[in-house]
Amino acid sequence: MGKIPIFKSFEEEAKFWDTHDTEEFTDEFEHVEVKFARPLKHKWMLTIELDEETFNQMKKLAEGAGKEPSVLIRSWVLEHIKK
């Protein structure tokens, strides 16, 4: 097995990996445990346009509820869908 060289630049490293396979260096890699801050989920995001006055009103309502505006809007959408 080969030894991964020390690179002088990202460009030099990129050229190296363009012509080499990581399988050539498996004995140099360490196994690591990967933990994610939160579970990976499939989520869909939606962007809505609000005028400034409406956004400011929404922000005040959210602050009064102790939530971020997006969290409050999401709860409204879910409540409406359940009806």
The structural domains of the chain, with segments of one domain joined by +, span 1-32, 39-83
Average pLDDT over residues 16-24: 92
Q: Give pLDDT, residue 66.
A: 95
Residue 1 pLDDT > 70: no
The b/e string for 44-79 (b: 16+ C-beta within 10 A; e otherwise) is eeeeeeeeeeeeeebeeebeeeeeebeebbeeeeee
Average pLDDT over residues 30-41: 82
Q: Give pLDDT, residue 5.
A: 92
Global pTM value: 0.47
Average pLDDT over residues 65-80: 94
